[in-house]
Amino acid sequence: MTVPTVDGGASTNPTDAPEATQGEQPKEVTKVEDLPQWAQDEIRNLRSEAASYRTGNRELRDQLSKAKSPEDFEALVNDYTTKITGLELEIAKRDAAASAGLPPEFAARLKGNTPEELANDAKDFAAKLPKAPTPPASLPAQHPAGGKTPEVTKPLSPRDAAAAYRDRYKR
């Protein structure tokens, strides 16, 4: 278990945990509801996963106890072999899609029965997808006038500025 230390690091030694300040007692967690939300979600997911394993195990035991002949056992073995093969193919598709840079949603579209066939199909599929446009390395500098570039001249003296103003607004 990793425990935060006083200096901001982490330690695996629980005795390195920061101690409570004077007058405070560390809060003891006795219920799942007292844990942070992320921990409650993780526990809920793990419990659900464990329940599905228990259910599957119980179903398999029931089916094996009902099997009386070698043919029944052979049928069960074939059924579970087919399920395992399907799951292995699904995992291989997800791995091939990930290695080709495809989103997981595209894994089901891949064709093939071996990891090599799936990898080749994923590469072909990724090559056919449009590429995202790449932004230019750097944008050209823009004048702060917002695209209306004023004439660049050297600053005028007050006398010259007054003369330019009179010339510009003569009636």
Q: Are residues 85 and 125 in the same domain?
A: yes
91 plus 45 within the same structural domain: no
What is the spatial distance between Cα 121 and Cα 118, in angstroms, rounded to a whole number?
Answer: 5
- Per the domain annotation, does 116 fall within a domain? yes
CB-based contacts of 26: which residues, under 8 Å, 6+ apart? 20
The whole-number mean pLDDT for each consecutive block of 10 residues of the chain, a chain of 171 residues, reads 47 46 65 90 92 89 86 88 90 92 90 92 90 72 61 79 88 65
Q: Can you give the residue range of the structural domain that contains 49?
A: 31-66
Q: What pLDDT sits at residue 140?
A: 63
My answer on whether 82 and 42 are in the same domain is no
What pLDDT is attached to residue 11? 47
CA–CA gap between residue 56 and residue 59 (Å, rounded): 5
Q: Quick one: pLDDT at residue 169?
A: 87
Distances (CA, A) of 85 to 57, 88, 89, 105: 18, 5, 6, 20
Number of domains forming the structure of the chain: 2
Q: Would the pTM of this model clear 0.75, i.e. be above it?
A: no
Q: What is the pLDDT of residue 24?
A: 59
Cα 10 versus chain centre, distance: 24
Is position 141 within any domain? no
To the nearest 10°, the Cα dihedral for 28, 34, 38, 43?
90
Residue 110 included in any domain: yes
What residue type is 118 in one-letter code? L
Q: Is position 59 within any domain?
A: yes
